[in-house]
Amino acid sequence: MRYLGKITNQRIVFRTRPDPNNPGQTQIQFALGAGAQALAIEGVLLNVSIEVDRWTAESLRAQSLPMPNPLPVQALVDTGASQLALDSTIVHSLNLARRGIATCDTAAGRRIAHLYAVSLSFPGTDLRRYDMLRAVEVDLTNQPFKCLIGRETMANWHFHYNGQSGGVSISD
**Residues at the site binding another protein, with contacts judged by CB under 8 A:** 53, 55-56, 58-60, 63, 65, 78, 80-83, 85, 97-108, 110-111, 113, 115, 117, 132, 134, 136, 138-139, 148, 150
**Cβ nearer to another protein, comparing 136 with 168:** 136
Coil/strand/helix, residue 86: strand
Run of H or E including 116: strand 109-121
Q: Shortest approach of another protein to residue 102 CB, angstroms?
A: 5
**Cβ nearer to another protein, comparing 30 with 55:** 55
In angstroms, the Cα distances linking 118 to 3, 58, 91, 127 are 24, 13, 9, 17
Find the distance separating the first CA and the last CA of the chain, reported in whole Å: 10
Q: Shortest approach of another protein to residue 168 CB, angstroms?
A: 17
> Cβ neighbours of residue 142 under 8 Å, at least 6 residues apart?
none
How would you classify the pairing of strands 109-121 and 100-106?
Answer: antiparallel
Q: Shortest approach of another protein to residue 22 CB, angstroms?
A: 46
**Cβ nearer to another protein, comparing 81 with 90:** 81
Q: Shortest approach of another protein to residue 162 CB, angstroms?
A: 21
**168, 12 in Cβ contact below 8 A?**
no
**Cβ nearer to another protein, comparing 74 with 82:** 82
